[in-house]
Amino acid sequence: MFLEYLVLAVALIFGVLAVLVKDNAVAALSLAFSAATVAAYYALAGLMAASFLVFVVYIGSVILMVIVTASMYGGFFDYPRRYKAAVAVLAVVAALLLWALIPQAPPQVSQELQPNFDLLALIAALLVSSLVVAIEVAKRV
């Protein structure tokens, strides 16, 4: 129960940061963290198909496009190279720490993921292709 409250609090904090922070790239990254913690909340509740959908489809296509857009027009490409390297190293270290600290239990995939997998894969392909088409159309106007 405490972990669920903690995850929801983190989602709330990053969601508020996404609106209040001035830098576009940082705001998009905060949004990605907020969405990821909501997906983690789904996983904690045992909703594996929903968690898969949010992690892979929503974050993998929608949020990625938001991050790319915010980076293009938010000045992240103008940041010094040291800053980008520091952010990348920090992200890798945080991921490795989480990997090491969280106890690795054998995965218990519920049965709801298997029958929906074709549908989820189809939706993922559809969304990613629609985003690519949108970018290409915008580039040619």
Partner 1 sequence: MIAAIAVGLVLIAVGLYGLAASRNMVRLLIAVEVVVVGALATLAPVLSTAPSVGLWALVLLISMAAGEVAIIGAVIYMTYAVAKTTDLEELRSGRDRP
Which chain residues interact with partner 1 by CB under 8 A?
4-5, 8-9, 11-12, 15-16, 18-19, 24, 27-28, 31, 34-35, 38, 41-42, 45, 47, 49-50, 53-54, 57-58, 61-63, 65-66, 69-70, 73-74, 112, 116, 119, 123, 127, 130-131, 133-135, 137-139, 141
Strand, helix or coil at 30?
Answer: helix
* Residue 105 tokens, joined: 């239990």
CB of 97 to partner 1, least distance (A): 25
Nearest residue to 124 (alpha-carbon basis) of 66, 82, 62? 62
Residue 81 C-beta-side C-alpha neighbours within 13 Å:
0
Q: Which is closer to partner 1, CB of 12 or CB of 89?
A: 12
